[in-house]
Amino acid sequence: MISRYNNTQRLNITLSSPIVEELNTFVAELGAKKSHLIEEALTYYFDMLDEKLASKRLKELEDGKVKTIPASEVWAELGL
């Protein structure tokens, strides 16, 4: 997978030993860089979190905790 981002930033993180051992196992097996595997894993995790948030927001809508704004009102407010 090619990075989705044009520029990168250095980030120092602390991980538990079991996670580091598992990461090292995958790095050795796949011949990939640690940063690449971590970026890929975070990308998949963030996708899962997006789905989780969408489900939460849909439930809030279904439970009447939030309301939608009709597109016509939004357009009118924007002068469209």
The pLDDT tens digits of the residues spanning 22-74 come to 999 999 999 999 999 999 999 999 999 999 999 999 999 999 999 999 999 99
Helix (H, G, I), strand (E, B) or coil at 44: helix
Please check the confidence at residue 3 and state whether its pLDDT lies above 60: no
- What's the confidence (pLDDT) of residue 35? 94
Q: The whole model's pTM is what?
A: 0.70
- What's the confidence (pLDDT) of residue 59? 97
